[in-house]
Amino acid sequence: MNEQEGIYYLPASSECVTAWLSADEHGEIRLRVSEEGYSYSRNEYEIEPKLGNLPRVFRFRDGGRLETSDSSLVRALENGREGGGLLRLVSWMEDRWPMAVASIAGMALFVFVFLEYAMPAIANHLAHEVPQAVRERISEESLDSFQRMNVLGEKITEGEDFELASRAFEEALAMVAGDLSPEYNYELHIHAAPAIGPNAFALPSGAIVATREFLELCETEEQVMAVFLHEIAHVEEQHGLRSVLQNTGVFLILSIALGDLSSMGGLLSSVPSLALESRYSQAFEIEADTFAGRQLIESGRSAAAMKEILVLLHRGSEGGEMLELISSHPSLGKRIDNLEAIEAAELLGAP
């Protein structure tokens, strides 16, 4: 049996003597001190965690204490005991700090890749898997919330603005009828809304809200239709729920993936502010602009109406609240450039 030298501190005493440590295959250890011997079963001693290059310390139930160097014998005894896995990992990392640094860097890279690429993909999948009944509930709660907060005022169901918006809405739906998912229930809501001014936004169920102030800002019916096409894209791609899922993080996504629809309650408080404050990503806004521009061009028109309304909305936002189509999003110039690139591609016959 191999023995290892150490310094043994006698129980209830500061006296120390040289001792020799050995162990059997069951983890029972034996200390040989001068002519005497002490035996300890596995539950009669503890091994303190390794700290850098300091001696390894054994504490015994009778009050004795042994200090010895780190060795394969000590590590074997330590690994054979229950628990201590995390402490052993820390010790392992201390001994191999370059690998520890590399591990931390690798974890940081993993988190970045997950949040940048995996999270959006997961959110996209789950947003389209949410039952329409849940989307309807979210949308209804959102509209109720807007009205309780006086964000949306009187609902408009007649008059010139109503007729113009209804025509533009029906024409927009007819234009993209072949691309619409039958799952969504498209309906138009028009409200007076001096609190937020010219605005239009989409809710997950297919409800699209336009304010009277927005309709008054538009100069042509085609501009209204262009905005409705933009909002239809937000519904079809479920940009609202995807944004909420991505912003809320891993825990809500896992809850929904595991079928815990009670977690959807968190969405009810997030979607209203999302819709009003337009916290869609720049990619989502460009995607919706692109959808609207292409639909206008493919119908024999041009993307001019979309560009015009973006300019009008940008002017209307100066000195006031940012509007739905432009706040927290790509610059006006970038969005106009995107639409002009679509027009140029169509002229060249590019797909």
Greater confidence, 253 or 8? 8
Q: Record the pTM.
A: 0.65
Asked whether the beta carbons of 22 and 28 are under 8 A apart, the reply is no
Higher confidence at residue 338 or residue 265? Answer: 338
**Cα 312 versus chain centre, distance:** 33
- Taking alpha carbons only, the member of 16, 23, 19, 30 closest to residue 75 is 23
What confidence score (pLDDT) does residue 270 get?
A: 52
β-strand pairing of 200-202 with 45-47: unpaired
Q: Determine if residue 130 is left, alpha or beta; phi over 0 gives left, psi from -120 to 50 gives alpha, anything else beta.
A: beta
User: What number is the average pLDDT over the span 271-276?
Assistant: 49
151 contacts 208 by C-beta, under 8 angstroms = no
For 116-138, give the DSSP string: IIIHHHHHHHHHHHS-HHHHHHH
Residue 182 has, within 13 A of its CA and on its CB side, a CA count of: 0
Provide Rg for the chain, Cα atoms: 34
E-strand spans in the chain? 4-9, 16-23, 29-33, 36-40, 45-47, 56-60, 65-68, 187-191, 200-202, 207-211
| 195: exposed, middle or buried (Cβ count in 10 Å: 0-12, 13-18, 19+) | middle
State the Cα–Cα distance between residues 340 and 351, nearest whole angstrom. Answer: 15
Residue percentage of the chain with pLDDT more than 90: 42
Q: Count CA atoms within 13 Å of residue 46 on its CB side.
A: 8
Read off the tokens for 279. Answer: 């916290």
Predicted confidence at residue 96, as pLDDT, reads 61
Considering only residues 235 and 115, tell me which one the structure prediction assigns the higher pLDDT.
235
**What's the confidence (pLDDT) of residue 133?**
93
For residues 44-52, average pLDDT: 84
Q: Are the beta carbons of 58 and 47 closer than 8 angstroms? A: yes
Q: Percent of the chain beyond pLDDT 70?
A: 79
Mean pLDDT to the nearest integer, 98-113: 78
| pLDDT at 47 > cutoff 50 | yes
Mean pLDDT is highest, among 6-10, 213-217, 253-257, 264-268, for: 213-217
Region at 34 (left for phi over 0; alpha for psi -120 to 50; beta for the rest): left
2.30.29, 1.10.3470, 2.60.40, 1.10.10: CATH of 4-95? 2.30.29
Assign 3-class secondary structure to 45-75.
EEECCCCCCCCEEEEECCCCEEEECCCHHHH
Q: Which residue, among 285, 292, 270, 287, has the nearest Cα to 327 in the 3D structure?
A: 285
Long-range contacts of 120-129 (CB under 8 A, 24+ apart): 120/242, 120/246, 122/245, 122/253, 122/257, 123/241, 123/242, 123/245, 123/246, 123/253, 124/238, 124/242, 126/245, 126/253, 126/256, 126/257, 127/238, 127/241, 127/242, 127/245, 128/238, 129/256
Q: In what order do the strands lie in the sheet with 187-191?
A: 187-191, 207-211, 200-202
The closest of 1, 6, 27 to 71, measured between CA atoms, is 6
For residue 153, give Cα distances in angstroms to 144, 204, 208. Answer: 11, 21, 15
Reported as a pLDDT band with limits 50, 70 and 90, residue 323 is: very low
Q: Which span out of 47-51, 121-125, 166-170 was modeled with the highest average pLDDT?
A: 166-170
Query: What phi and psi values does residue 201 have, to the nearest 5 degrees?
Result: -155, 160
Mean of pLDDT over the chain:
82
pLDDT digits (tens, 9 = 90+) for 280-306: 577 899 999 999 999 999 999 999 999
**What SS3 state is found at 113?**
helix
**Model pLDDT, residue 316:** 59
Q: Provide the pLDDT confidence category of residue 126 given band limits of 50, 70 and 90.
A: confident
Identify the top-confidence range among 88-97, 253-262, 334-343.
334-343
pLDDT tens digits for range 167-220: 999 999 999 999 999 999 999 999 999 998 999 999 999 999 999 999 999 999
CATH 2.30.29 in the chain, residues? 4-95
pLDDT: which is higher, 135 or 256: 135
What's the pLDDT at 290?
95
On the question of pLDDT at 338 being above 50, the answer is yes
Q: What per-residue confidence (pLDDT) applies to 48?
A: 87
Tell me which amino acid residue 307 is.
K
Strand order from edge to edge, sheet including 36-40? 36-40, 29-33, 16-23, 4-9, 65-68, 56-60, 45-47
pLDDT of residue 158: 94
Report pLDDT digits (tens) over 7-43: 998 887 778 899 999 888 888 889 898 878 889 998 8
